[in-house]
Amino acid sequence: METRRINPEEAAARLLEADNILILTHKNPDGDAIGSGIAIALALQQKGKHCRVCWTGELAGFYSLITECYQPDEIGEPDFVLAVDLANPRLLPEDTIGYSDRVDMVIDHHATSVEFARETLLESAASCCAEIIFKVINAMGCSVTTDIANCIYVGLSTDTGCFRYSNTTADNHLLAAQLVSLGVNIAKFNELIFGQKSRARIEIERRALSGMEFTSSGKICIITITRSMLEETNCIESDIEGIATIPKAIEGVEAGITLREQENGNWKISLRTASLDAAEICSLFGGGGHIRAAGCECSGTPFEIKVAMVAAINKRLGLS
């Protein structure tokens, strides 16, 4: 389907013509997906529209802070289907994937968007979808309540790592200033989003740290996650998100290696580097990636794999 690119004002006008609006987002929704979906639903409800936001799976506990303020409407067959923070209809969860070819509008910030909807509001320079949603809400002439501000803040804060990541812009801070003025309890949100760890996460971290190995005068740090560790701790995928960043974040470490045992008995390797070319090193083992973050999959024992990786890294560090 040919999509038509639209701006926030056009998106606002189109949404105001609809009555029963189904709002979709990607599976395993994050703060930006949920925050964007509920923010636009709350705004549309102000205008007398009926809205239902769909998401699948259990959300981390902190999302209740924003989901609680939203009452879904019974909408029956929707007359308008909106997708937010969705770059590709294949990322829809199973129970809404049937809507793939009848999405009326997508609002998104991913440069990788495949533009599958009838109309597309795409701002790929935006750090989060929520900041585009904020423009649409203003263009609809809605009042930005504290509940809406909370939703926008969660999207903004999640996708910028609480203003830490390199995608954070001056505009993001200007938006945050507005949201704080609207009464967002930023300390509470950020404590819940960034301060808390699941019990399974802390259990896997304690096992990973316990087996942490240093070599090459502390320049290489290795952690190993076995399948039995994951089973013991009941970890789900989201519990081990970002675990590969732990070894690299230690002062003095040039190369952080994380080994993760796969179901087929192979080991998935993540390499994070301070100054070395991680992609080049992983390419020696049939993998690839980015210059400071790359990966590969290896067979063999963890010991054999570590010896081979350390030798390659030592050579590039001038240590052999």
- Contact set with a copy of itself (CB under 8 A): 61, 162-166, 168-174, 176-178, 180-181, 186-187, 190-191, 194-199, 202, 205-206, 209-210, 212, 214, 218, 245, 249-252
Burial class for 24, CB neighbours closer than 10 Å (0-12, 13-18, 19+): buried
CB-count exposure of residue 319 (10 Å: 0-12, 13-18, 19+): middle
Give 100: exposed, middle or buried? Use CB within 10 Å, 0-12, 13-18, 19+: middle
Q: What would the two tokens of residue 292 be?
A: 């400071």
Least spacing, CB of residue 149 vs a copy of itself, in Å: 12
Pairing of strands 220-225, 119-122: unpaired
Residue placing its CB nearer to a copy of itself in the complex, 219 or 260:
219
Nearer to a copy of itself, 202 or 307 (CB): 202
When the beta carbons of 55 and 153 are compared against a copy of itself, the nearer one is 153
Helix (H) or strand (E) holding 269: strand 267-273
Structure tokens at 241: 């998100």
Least distance in angstroms from the C-beta of 116 to a copy of itself: 31
Q: Which is nearer to a copy of itself, 246 or 282 (CB)?
A: 246
Radius of gyration of the chain (CA): 22
3-class DSSP state of 177: helix
Encode 199-233: b = buried (16+ Cβ within 10 Å), e = exposed.
ebbebbbebbeeeeeebbeebbbbbbbbeebbeeb
CB of 212: closest distance to a copy of itself in angstroms? 6
CA angle 133, 50, 24 (to 5 degrees): 50
DSSP 8-state symbol, 319? -
One-letter amino acid at 289 equals: G
Q: What distance in Å separates the CA atoms of residue 101 and residue 84, rounded to the nearest whole number?
A: 15
Closer CB to a copy of itself, 102 or 206, in the complex? 206
Closest approach of Cβ 197 to a copy of itself, in Å? Answer: 6
Q: How far is the CB of 208 from a copy of itself (least distance, A)?
A: 9
CB closer to a copy of itself out of 99 and 214: 214
Q: Please identify, using beta-carbon distances, which residue of 174 and 284 lies nearer to a copy of itself.
A: 174
CB of 56 vs a copy of itself, minimal distance in Å: 21
Minimum Å gap between C-beta 39 and a copy of itself is: 19
